[in-house]
Amino acid sequence: MARIKIDLPESFSFSTSFAVRITDLNFGAHVGNDTVLSFAHEARVRYLQSLGYRELNLEGVGLIMSDAALVFKNEIYYGDELMISIRAVEFSRVGFDLIYQIEKKTTESPILVALVKTAMVCFDYEQKKVVPLPENALRKLKV
């Protein structure tokens, strides 16, 4: 079986943290892939807010996720303090990819627990069609 590979950027442009809640656990008493993806969603919203954007207003256009990939590296449990770092990469005429590095904070060094990649496409929700990535947003995302 071919494995998904997510290449990490040399640096990240944004980081945010939060604690794993009891409601984030699955029947195995750890965090499942659906919850890791929801962690990425929350981090993405915070990242966009840090740039002055919302998912429905990126210089006047919306964003829609066209695909997502997730690679687990370690388990995540209740109470773990997570740090999620993000960088926009692979820009196209109509979108970009976001790379997320999720680490568990420890008293020593952080432990990598998951990598996520989402493809974000600029979308006009009223016209229901893909639209170009605004130049101003491109400049901000490339920082």
pTM above 0.85, yes or no: yes
Which H or E run includes 130? strand 129-130
What percent of the chain lies above the pLDDT cut of 70?
A: 100
Q: Would you place residue 142 in the very low, low, confident or very high pLDDT band (cuts 50, 70, 90)? A: very high
Which H or E run includes 136? helix 135-141
The full length of the chain comes to 143
pLDDT digits (tens, 9 = 90+) for 115-138: 999 999 999 999 999 999 999 999
Alpha-carbon distance of 17 to 70, in angstroms, equals: 19
